[in-house]
Copies of this chain bind each other. A is one copy, B any other.
Amino acid sequence: MVHSLKGACVFGQSGGPTAVINASAYGVIKRALEIPEITHVYGAEYGIKGVLNDRLFDVSKEDPDELKFLLNTPSSVFGSCRYKLAKPEEDDTDFKRILEVFKKHDIRYFFYNGGNDSMDTCNKIGRYLDSVGYECRVIGIPKTIDNDLMLTDHCPGYASSAKYIATSCAEMRKDTAVYDVGTITVVEIMGRHTGWLTAASALARLCGAGPDLIYLPEITFDMDDFLAKVKDIYEKKGNVFIAVSEGIRYADGKFVSEATTSATDGFGHAQLGGLAVILADYIKKYTGAKVRGIEFSLLQRCAAHSASKVDIDEAYKAGVAAIDGAVAGQTRKMVAFKRKDVDGKYNMEVEYVPLDQVANLEKCIPMEWIDESGCDVNDKFIQYALPLIQGGFDIPIENGLPRYANLKKIIAE
């Protein structure tokens, strides 16, 4: 039987933002404010830095109606950081400070919302607090557009980026096909180590306008083969649309984006333009065609106006589950999603997995979901991703534009 733990809770957002990280924040906040054992609910300014600096926002001071707009507010409302903690056994300075601040505010619940590195932070804090005998329940909440966290079917944030990528690829494919003059378009999509986001471009085919070729970091990139394939499609169809992950690498392990910046290959400008521009340049020289390189850049991770309803809902639920799990005695765990379809219909259940087994690992697309050609995904990926992007684009609107949460952000004494 788990005993009841009374004290304050602190919630931090970490790493790159997503379209729905604030939906998880809303889940945490709303649920935490309802729990009698939780005496205070704090949001840390700039993630763990807010704890180190003792800059905690007292969210009970916020208007509950205003907080609700967090469901559709992009970016990380309390601020974020990319701050790597040392190993506590090597340097415990930060951990001592964290303990000091936790003691000051009687913090007994710590929730950290982020990706791989953030789960590592969360895990280290949990281990340290246990090692010094300070009772605090520590829960990680998954968040990453990259979708590369282990032990969870998918990560909140991914589906909204996938939906944005699918929608935008469909729109651009339509746009680039209007002239009877051939064009080749290369779209660069985020994902340094895994191809989940780039694979989502395949969903655009459901709009009748998807890419011809999809290049993922899971598959070794070969420039000659790439150029030959592009030229072949160009000669047959006159119009080629290519989705490519920023993380594609040559057989020697070098990123294509980096390898081509060496002064000797005549692409000395490459570090400026990004991979799409580099590949567009190669294609132009090889085919003589009109080629355009496009990078989604930040847009793919912040487009809350086109967020997936499923994603918003699940991100919110992950926040709620973090609170409920901690109150029920879970600690040093990450909230995870397990797919349990009911009567052939998509259904997701929450579970808690050990942070130890999540931190610093990366989940790639299974090889059996990748087409034999090596430059496409198959229906297994579509069946996986399609349920995640459901719903329309209706969001709270003011002045014809998205209505975001406008918080007071009052620092706790």
Q: Contact check, B295 vs A295: say whether CB atoms are below 8 A apart.
A: yes
Q: Contact check, B73 vs A174: say whether CB atoms are below 8 A apart.
A: yes
Contact with B along A139-182 (1 / 0, CB 8 A): 00000000000000000000000010011101110111111100
Q: Contact check, B269 vs A178: say whether CB atoms are below 8 A apart.
A: no
Chain A: residues with CB nearer than 8 A to chain B? 13, 17, 46, 49, 73-76, 79-82, 163, 166-168, 170-172, 174-180, 203-204, 206-209, 268-270, 272-273, 277, 281, 292, 294-295, 297-299, 301-306, 308, 310, 386, 389-395, 397-404, 406
Q: Contact check, B299 vs A401: say whether CB atoms are below 8 A apart.
A: no
Kindly state the separation between the CA atoms of A6 and B294 in the bound complex, as whole angstroms: 48
> A178-B79, A294-B298 are known contacts. Are A167 and B207 too (CB-CB below 8 A)?
no
Q: Which residues of B contact A75 (CB under 8 A)?
A: 171, 174-175, 177-178
Instruction: Specify how many copies of this chain sit in the oligomer.
Output: 2
Cβ contacts A to B, 13 pairs, < 8 Å: A49-B180, A80-B178, A167-B402, A171-B298, A172-B298, A174-B302, A207-B402, A208-B404, A273-B277, A294-B295, A308-B400, A391-B397, A392-B395
Q: How far is the CB of A63 from chain B (nearest CB, A)?
A: 15
Q: Which residues of B contact A79 (CB under 8 A)?
A: 178-180
Kindly state the separation between the CA atoms of A266 and B75 in the bound complex, as whole angstroms: 36
Kindly state the separation between the CA atoms of A292 and B172 in the bound complex, as whole angstroms: 23
The residue in A13, A269, A390 that gathers the most chain B C-beta atoms within 10 A of its C-beta is A269
Q: Contact check, B399 vs A305: say whether CB atoms are below 8 A apart.
A: no
Kindly state the separation between the CA atoms of A204 and B399 in the bound complex, as whole angstroms: 10
Known: A46-B179, A294-B297, A306-B306. 13 other contacts (CB 8 A): A79-B179, A79-B180, A81-B180, A171-B302, A171-B305, A175-B298, A207-B403, A292-B297, A305-B393, A391-B400, A392-B394, A392-B397, A393-B395
Q: Contact check, A46 vs B273: say whether CB atoms are below 8 A apart.
A: no
Q: How far is the CB of A252 from chain B (nearest CB, A)?
A: 25
